[in-house]
Amino acid sequence: MASILFDEIGLLYTGDQTGGEEIASAALVVEDETVAWVGPAASAPQADRRVDVGGRCVLPGFVDSHAHLVFAGDRTAEFVARMSGEQYRAGGIRTTVAATREAADSVLAARTAALVTEMLAQGTTTVEIKSGYGLTEEDERRSLEIAGAFTEETTFLGAHVVPAGVSTDDYVRQVAGPMLAACAPLARWIDVFCERGAFDGDQTREILSAGIAAGLGARVHAAQFGVGPGVEIACELGAASADHCTHLSDDDVTALATSGVVATLLPGAEFSTRSPYPDARRLLAAGATVALATDCNPGSSYTSSMPFCIALAVREMRMTPLEAVRAATHGGARALRRDDIGVLRPGSRADLAVLDAPSYVHLAYRPGVPLIHQVWRGGRKVA
């Protein structure tokens, strides 16, 4: 068994709220793919190899629990129009659907690979990838096949929007029936865009229930444009996560806090659609588990950067740097119901981000600066 001692860690953020969440002058030992030991450098055990971290900050690799990476084309013109005052609408998704259906498998796979590589270089060691730009049985299936080459966290999002030329009732029947049957073997999760212009509460319930019956875990795009039924349905069906959570009623906040459904906030979407940010403080005060994710997609949030989302969370949503980093690591892992990532404790997967900075605070304090020095995934240096 090969072991590595990461020594001279200026500040180790373990994310382990049961142990020392932050350890100054720390060390960490990895054995093969797994963390074997964390603690003060002075009492570190021996290992086969030593990596001198040079006083830098080490934290768990980011867990980006919400991303739409399998698509072709872009929506530059839509972005430019929006920055001149146009409103963001769900209908723009159909532009990307048309481009994605036209694209060869090899093109889609190469583009997905490029985004995953971009993410890795920015410290993301786990990413959830959704389908949702195919919207036919065949195109959703191939999106999930491509996604599955990059992550085990694959999500069937046939219910992204109703495609052009199909009636809503027919499409809901198709998604909950044959499309789900074709896609379920390739997915871990099912998601629905529950919003005006996409799917209403009854349709969302029907599609998610069918997915759960097919063995998938549920997650929901909820409350992006206005208060709606998405959060309530997520809590009622035991979804892992309700995502966006930009417009919440008091009942929604209470339901999130008491059900344990993770509230996943996607501030890149508010940034890129010039919309008001979610009220993170209200969720945290109620005791909800908050995750941060990029929502990387060509329409509402074309960023692959978790450090950028952390900076937005701190500046725009008044999360403390510690809360934001916790939400980008442990929070994302909770949103994916994973215990082996998002924390650095003995037994965790050895996914580390080494910052070119003495503290994780710099992720928000030095926005836009590439601070990722090294990335290790499963005990191997990957960036």
- Where does 175-229 have alpha helices with state H? 180-183, 201-213
User: How many CB atoms within 10 Å of residue 196?
Assistant: 12
Residue 269 interaction partner, one of ligand NIG, Fe ion, none, beta carbon < 5-8 Å per kind: ligand NIG
Residue 155 interaction partner, one of Fe ion, ligand NIG, none, beta carbon < 5-8 Å per kind: none
Binding site residues, Fe ion, CB under 5 A: 295
Among the listed ranges 46-54, 57-65, 90-98, 308-316, the one in contact with ligand NIG (CB under 6 A) is: 90-98
Tokens in use for 134? 């195919």
Q: Of 41 and 292, which has the nearer Cβ to Fe ion?
A: 292
Phi/psi of residue 70, nearest 5 degrees = -95, 95
Residue nearest to ligand NIG (CB): 299
Q: Of 78 and 295, which has the nearer Cβ to Fe ion?
A: 295
Q: What is the DSSP letter of 278?
A: P
Q: Of 221 and 338, which has the nearer Cβ to ligand NIG?
A: 221
Query: Does 295 contact ligand NIG by CB under 6 A?
Result: yes
Query: Does 303 contact ligand NIG by CB under 6 A?
Result: no
Q: Of 64 and 295, which has the nearer Cβ to ligand NIG?
A: 295
CA distances from 226 to 266, 281, 313 (A): 15, 18, 20
Q: How many residues bind ligand NIG (CB under 6 A)?
A: 14
Among the listed ranges 12-20, 276-284, 292-300, 317-325, the one in contact with ligand NIG (CB under 6 A) is: 292-300
Nearest-approach distance from CB 273 to ligand NIG, in angstroms: 8
Distance between terminal CA atoms of the chain?
A: 23
CA-to-CA distance for 22 and 9, rounded, in angstroms?
11
Query: Does 299 contact ligand NIG by CB under 6 A?
Result: yes
| 291-317 as b/e: b if 16+ CB within 10 A | bbbbbbbbbbbbbbbbbbbbbbbbeeb
Residue 185: which residues within 8 A CB-CB, separation 6 or more? none
CA-to-CA distance for 5 and 16, rounded, in angstroms?
19
Nearest-approach distance from CB 266 to Fe ion, in angstroms: 7
Q: Of 9 and 69, which has the nearer Cβ to ligand NIG?
A: 69
Residue 96 interaction partner, one of Fe ion, ligand NIG, none, beta carbon < 5-8 Å per kind: ligand NIG
CA-to-CA distance for 343 and 13, rounded, in angstroms?
9
Stretch 51-80 residues interacting with ligand NIG (CB under 6 A): 68
Q: Of 11 and 293, which has the nearer Cβ to ligand NIG?
A: 293
Are 234 and 243 within 8 A, CB to CB? no
Are 247 and 214 within 8 A, CB to CB? no
